[in-house]
Structure 1
Amino acid sequence: MKIAITGLANSGKTTIFNALTGMDLETTIYATVVPEPRLGVVKVPDARIDKLSEIFKPKKTNYATVEYMDYIGLTKGDMEQNRKVFDLIKDVEAVVHVIRGFEDEQVIHPLGGVNPKRDAETVELEMIFGDLELVDKRLDRMEQGMKRGKKPDEAEKKLLLKCKEILEGERPLRDVEFTEEEQRGMSHLQFMSIKPLVVVVNAGEKDMNSEETAATVALLQSLFTGKRVRVLSLCGKIEMELVQLPSDEAAAFLDDLGIKEPALNKLIHVSYDLLGMISFLTTGEDEVRAWTIRKGMNAQKAAGKIHSDIERGFIRAEVVSFDDFIALGSMSAARDRGLLRLEGKTYEVKDGDIINFRFNV
């Protein structure tokens, strides 16, 4: 699962990327230009995996992961520059839009001053205009093809015209319900404004838990009303400092701030949930592992996440929920109580299911 971090220059994108990944990329007080996006893989915090590892003491423990991408910021009105950004992040599954909420005279704001609502609307419009440009070019190619005697794909043309009308109304495509057929028809177009969105207010240290920040989050929630958007706040600077500390010192720092867990854990979980992802778990002496799948996936397809041979030779899945396993203390107890079940290939895997697949190839 790949997610792009974007926003205007000097909003704190790279600071948050560093905090997420534990990397130490340079952060500057001016807009920067880098030749390639930076990638970092982040473990999805999961107390269930921690607990199972304590019990089974495996040789390896593997968490679910999210890959985040950091690149240059978007620029208001500069479609040529923004197209470079869109082209490099067009294959991501979601976007984290970092909005500056901190005041710092040394860090220049590209639009002259801190204004979260304006910044949010600016980036949203740049994505919409980018998609509209893509639609217009596609329709123009169809028109040119017709002049040469090439018959256009009428279904695609109809879909493009629908998207054009939405985008010209300055609405993002993610706010519109498309049919499954329409979604398949537009998948190759890689629109930006259709991607699920996490809006992150990057607050200053003094404003992290302030009424002003809470009001900003509420304002942005009223601005982004679609089902495929989440809004939250954090302080990128503090989070970046936290990730550089030893775990015991980080825990003490959080206690001093009155915080139960790093806000970035919440960002990771929100990203995971936004995309409709869940984890099933596998256990044993060799490995305890979380496997990422789409919500609603059946047992046979889930088996294929481990290996294609298991999917092809699927016989049955031995399933027990994490909560039932912990409550009873062992697989044998779960079996005796009838909570370790044998499920067929059409069983819908649930979040937290502990599964052992039986197969024969």
Structure 2
Amino acid sequence: MKIALVGVAGVPLGKHKVKDPRLDKADKLVKADRKTYALVDVVGEEEAPTADAIVASPEGRFDLIVKDLEFAETRLARNPPATEKAVLEKIKACLEGEGVVAEAGLTPEELRLVESHAFLTAKPIVVAEAPEVAAFDDFLVRVVNASGYISFLTVGGPENRAWLIRKGATSQEAGGAIHTDIEKGFIRAEIIGWNDFIAAGGETQAKHANKMRVETKSYVMQDFDLANFRFKK
């Protein structure tokens, strides 16, 4: 996951840990050699067009709105096709009210009509005030959750680890987040829901309580599922 900073100073660029406290809790319940948080790439404003999400200061958010509004007005001045024009008018009205494209209420079909324009405010934007910038790594948990991502866990043995995936990802796709071989050779996923894991007091206890489920490749992962993947090597 890549997060671009717009108008936010004092945050080092590069890899940052997503310090979700749920991993800390899991690490106390399951013994492993190490604990590994999920990582995100934090990049500068120039990479905002290719970022998955944007963290902006209040002023930075306004600047993004202005840029998108200028583009919408320029495109409308070129007399686009009627269907595209209707969507652009809708976007323009939203931006003029200091809203963002992601909040314009566009249908999937309307989004497809303008996706090539790559409006910056169509991306998830999380506004960061000074206290949040000061504790940026803690703030990242909220940024990730607001940006359409969830985590799943693999636990025990050498490592207790959190992995980031997009909301709606299947178990097969989640396996691919670990290694492409798992996705290609996927057989099944052994899943323990987070609440069941906590209620039972650990992975082994959850298995003894018959809380582990065997899921196929089409299973949609839930936030902080514990997963073990079986695959052809």
Using structure 1 for the length normalisation, give the TM-score: 0.55
* Partner residue in 2 for 1:10: none
Query: Given that residues 91 and 104 in structure 2 are in contact (C-alpha distance below 8 angstroms), is that contact kept between their aligned partners in structure 1?
Result: no
When residues 288 and 266 of structure 1 are mapped into structure 2, their CA distance, relative to the original with a 3 A threshold, is closer
Counterparts of 1:157-176 in structure 2, within 5 Å, are 157-168=85-96, 170-176=98-104
Task: Give the SS at the match of 2:121.
Answer: coil
Structure 1 letter corresponding to 2:49: K
When residues 139 and 235 of structure 1 are mapped into structure 2, their CA distance, relative to the original with a 3 A threshold, is closer
Counterparts of 1:177-196 in structure 2, within 5 Å, are 177-196=105-124
Q: Which deviations, in whole Å up to 9, do the C-alpha atoms of 1:72-117 show, x marking residues without a partner?
A: xxxxxxxxxxxxx5xx422222222225xxxxxxxxxxxxxxxxxx
| Candidates 2, 14, 21, aligned match of 2:9 | 14
Task: Give the SS at the match of 1:351.
Answer: coil
* Partner residue in 2 for 1:21: none
May I ask how many residue pairs the two structures share in their alignment? 232
Is 1:90 aligned to 2:38, yes or no? no
Query: Given that residues 154 and 226 in structure 2 are in contact (C-alpha distance below 8 angstroms), is that contact kept between their aligned partners in structure 1?
Result: yes
* Partner residue in 1 for 2:223: 351
Higher strand share: 2
* Partner residue in 2 for 1:49: 23
CA displacement at 1:324 relative to structure 2: 3.3
CA displacement at 1:271 relative to structure 2: 0.4
Structure 2 letter corresponding to 1:162: K
d(CA) in 1 for partners of 2:214 and 2:176? 18
Say which is worse superposed, 348-357 or 329-338, in terms of deviation.
329-338
Q: Which deviations, in whole Å up to 9, do the C-alpha atoms of 1:242-280 show, x marking residues without a partner?
A: xxxxxxxxxxxxxxxxxxxxx435421210111132111
5+ residue gaps, structure 2 = none
Structure 1 letter corresponding to 2:212: L
CA displacement at 1:125 relative to structure 2: 4.3
Using structure 2 for the length normalisation, give the TM-score: 0.81
When residues 47 and 171 of structure 1 are mapped into structure 2, their CA distance, relative to the original with a 3 A threshold, is closer
CA displacement at 1:52 relative to structure 2: 4.3
Structure 2 letter corresponding to 1:131: D
> Between Structure 1 and Structure 2, whose CA radius of gyration is higher?
1
d(CA) in 2 for partners of 1:68 and 1:56? 31
What do you get for the CA RMSD once the two structures are aligned?
Answer: 2.9
* Partner residue in 2 for 1:335: 207
5+ residue gaps, structure 1 = 8-12, 19-38, 72-84, 100-119, 144-151, 203-233, 240-262
Task: Give the SS at the match of 1:286.
Answer: strand
Say which is worse superposed, 350-359 or 158-167, in terms of deviation.
158-167
d(CA) in 2 for partners of 1:327 and 1:235? 32
Q: Identity of counterpart residues, as a percentage?
A: 38
Structure 1 letter corresponding to 2:107: T
> Which of structures 1 and 2 has the larger relative contact order (alpha carbons within 8 angstroms, sep 6+)?
2
d(CA) in 1 for partners of 2:208 and 2:175? 25
